[in-house]
Amino acid sequence: MGPLLAMRKALYAALIRDTALLALLGGTKIYAAVPAQTEPPYISFGPAQVTPWTGGSQTGYRFQGVLEIWSLQKGDVEMLGVADRINALITSGILQPDGYHVLQCYLERVTMTPAREDGWRQTLLELVELTEQTTPPS
C-alpha cells in the first residue's frame, strides 16, 4: 500500500474509533466523499500530499493533509471542540499506518473561514505526519 493511502486509512480509522469525537459530531460523520444532504457537523478529507525523505539508512515520508470541519453553529465552540479532539488524537500516538512508523504528527495550521451566506462555516485543519517506512513499498 502506498504511503498516502496508508496514512489516510490510519487517520480515518483513528477518527472513526473515537467515541468522544463521534459524540461531538452526532454520529459517524467522517467522509472522503460527503453524501448528499449530510447535515453538519461533519468532517471531510481535503487535499493531501506525500513527500519522500531519506536520512542515513532511514526512508520515510512527510504527509500533509487537510481535514475540513463543517458546521452550521454560530460562533466557534462546535468547530473548535472538534478541532481540539482531533488534535488530541493525532498527537497521542494512535496513528498506525500499515508499513510505516509515525515519528511525529501535529497540526501545522488551523484556519477558520467566515460564515457563508447560507450559514455554513468551515474550519481547515492542516496536519503533518512524519513517518519512517518499516516494510518495503508494494
Confidence (pLDDT) at 138: 54
Q: Enter the C-alpha cell of residue 82.
A: 472538534
pTM of the model: 0.91
SS3 100: strand
Confidence (pLDDT) at 136: 67
Confidence (pLDDT) at 1: 64
* Spans of the chain, pLDDT less than 70: 1, 136-138
Confidence (pLDDT) at 62: 95
SS3 7: helix
Domain 3-133 fold: STM4215-like (3.30.2000)
Task: Give the Cα separation of 107 and 123 in Å (integer).
Answer: 13
Task: Give the Cα separation of 84 and 82 in Å (integer).
Answer: 5
Q: How many Cα atoms within 13 Å fall on the side-chain side of residue 112? A: 13
In this structure, what are the phi and psi dihedrals at residue 81, rounded to the nearest 5 degrees? Answer: -65, -45
